[in-house]
Amino acid sequence: MFAVVLLCGILAPGSTAFLWLFPKFPYTQPMKYACHLFTLALLLTPPQREQTWTANIGQIRQASRMIPGPAPLRINVLKFAESRRAKKFSVKGAPDEPSVQARTVFQIMYADGYVMLDSGMDQQVHNFFGRGVAEPFDPEAAKQVERAVRGARAIIVTHEHGDHVAGVIHTPFGNELASKTILTRDQVQTLLTNPQMPEIKLTPEAASRYHIVDYEKYLPFAPGIVLIKAPGHTPGSQMVYVVLASGREYLFIGDIAWHMDGVRNLKGKDAPWIQEDETTLISQLSWLNGLSKSEKNLFIIASHDDEQRLDLIKPGILGSKLE
């Protein structure tokens, strides 16, 4: 009997049909009930929906107030290199026109120190991104980035790609910087096993020098700063929410979109050389798109959008120099 019931189960949702197909089989009453039960259970089981990514701005704001202390005062940005890539790669469906991808870092200023968001990269790592083509690299700006990361109280990174993390790995100051760099376990995992380029590969011994954190969804990091888990562009990607003492809010989205048109038009990238979890990215883009409409005091900032960088520097929403 067990075998028949099992067969019904395997054939479900056709298990009731099984009874009709083989009416001559010597079914007992319990066997019939079991077959009908399988069909019913199957019909009542809700379809398994794919888990989509989402976040809650109210919970993020609450987390930003969890660590007591004065909030940050202002935020600076510095571009130290560029990639020249047609816009069609950054935003699916965009025209095949030239576009500049800025390589940037951000500096979150408190009254008594600052936190660096992303760490820059040296010219060798920069050359990787040109894929054989020499692209602009500003050695003077790169020096300023190096000085800023060395002077920071803490360094956090949006994700484990070379243009964001190499400044704390592929540098003569690696040891000094590791002791104040916070990496997530997912970021470290990629850097150990599948780094974007050999220069940023970590050994287990090197990894142990960094502060490695793990969290489920939101991590209150400092007064006014919250890390938001957002895998998709890379396994270790996170967004960084910052609220200043003035109440102005920022959401740094790293490379979830390379250009803000991706958020505005709900379009992913179209770059065959990167591997992303596109389904998750679309959920992230749609959350960001909703925020961009409802939260007028919140500035969503994409690391590489050069037009947005200039637009935000003009009215002083971002400072144009590192301090």
Helix (H) or strand (E) holding 308: helix 306-313
For Zn ion, the closer of residues 276 and 311 by Cβ is 276
For Zn ion, the closer of residues 157 and 222 by Cβ is 157
Going edge to edge, which strands form the sheet with 249-252?
Answer: 218-222, 225-229, 238-243, 249-252, 298-301
* Minimum CB–partner distance for residue 187 and Zn ion (Å): 12
* Minimum CB–partner distance for residue 167 and Zn ion (Å): 12
Closest CA to 125 of 81, 173, 79, 175: 81
- What angle, 0 to 180 degrees and rounded to 10, lies between the N-to-C axes of helices 2-11 and 29-44? 30
For Zn ion, the closer of residues 258 and 287 by Cβ is 258
Determine the Cα–Cα distance for residues 100 and 161; give it in Å rounded to an integer: 18
For Zn ion, the closer of residues 186 and 255 by Cβ is 255
For Zn ion, the closer of residues 74 and 267 by Cβ is 267
* Minimum CB–partner distance for residue 52 and Zn ion (Å): 21
The contact mask relative to Zn ion for 76-105 (x = CB under 5 A, - = no) is ------------------------------
**Region near Zn ion per CB under 5 A, out of 13-21, 72-80, 216-224, 249-257:** 249-257
How would DSSP label each residue in 222-277? ETTEEEEE-TTSSTT-EEEEEE-TTS-EEEE-TTS-SSTHHHHTT-----TT----
**Number of chain positions touching Zn ion (CB under 5 A):** 3
For Zn ion, the closer of residues 237 and 283 by Cβ is 237
* Minimum CB–partner distance for residue 87 and Zn ion (Å): 16
* Minimum CB–partner distance for residue 65 and Zn ion (Å): 30
Closest CA to 171 of 197, 149, 138, 193: 149
Q: Are 189 and 214 in contact (CB under 8 A)?
A: no
**Region near Zn ion per CB under 5 A, out of 86-94, 158-166, 212-220, 279-287:** 158-166
For Zn ion, the closer of residues 105 and 226 by Cβ is 105
Q: Are 164 and 303 in contact (CB under 8 A)?
A: yes
* Minimum CB–partner distance for residue 158 and Zn ion (Å): 8
Q: Are 181 and 169 in contact (CB under 8 A)?
A: no
Determine the Cα–Cα distance for residues 31 and 35; give it in Å rounded to an integer: 6
Applying CB under 5 A, which of residues 82, 118, 122, 163 lies at the interface with Zn ion? 163
For Zn ion, the closer of residues 114 and 252 by Cβ is 252
* Minimum CB–partner distance for residue 153 and Zn ion (Å): 24
Applying CB under 5 A, which of residues 79, 87, 126, 161 lies at the interface with Zn ion? 161
The reply on whether position 255 binds Zn ion by CB under 5 A is yes
**SS3 helix, strand, coil % of the chain, rounded to 5?**
40, 20, 40
- Distance (Å) of CA 95 to CA 98, 101, 257, 272: 9, 15, 16, 16
For Zn ion, the closer of residues 115 and 302 by Cβ is 302
**Region near Zn ion per CB under 5 A, out of 17-25, 121-129, 185-193, 253-261:** 253-261
* Minimum CB–partner distance for residue 69 and Zn ion (Å): 30
Determine the Cα–Cα distance for residues 302 and 294; give it in Å rounded to an integer: 18
Sign of CA dihedral 225, 54, 193, 304: negative
* Minimum CB–partner distance for residue 254 and Zn ion (Å): 7
Site residues, Zn ion (CB under 5 A): 161, 163, 255
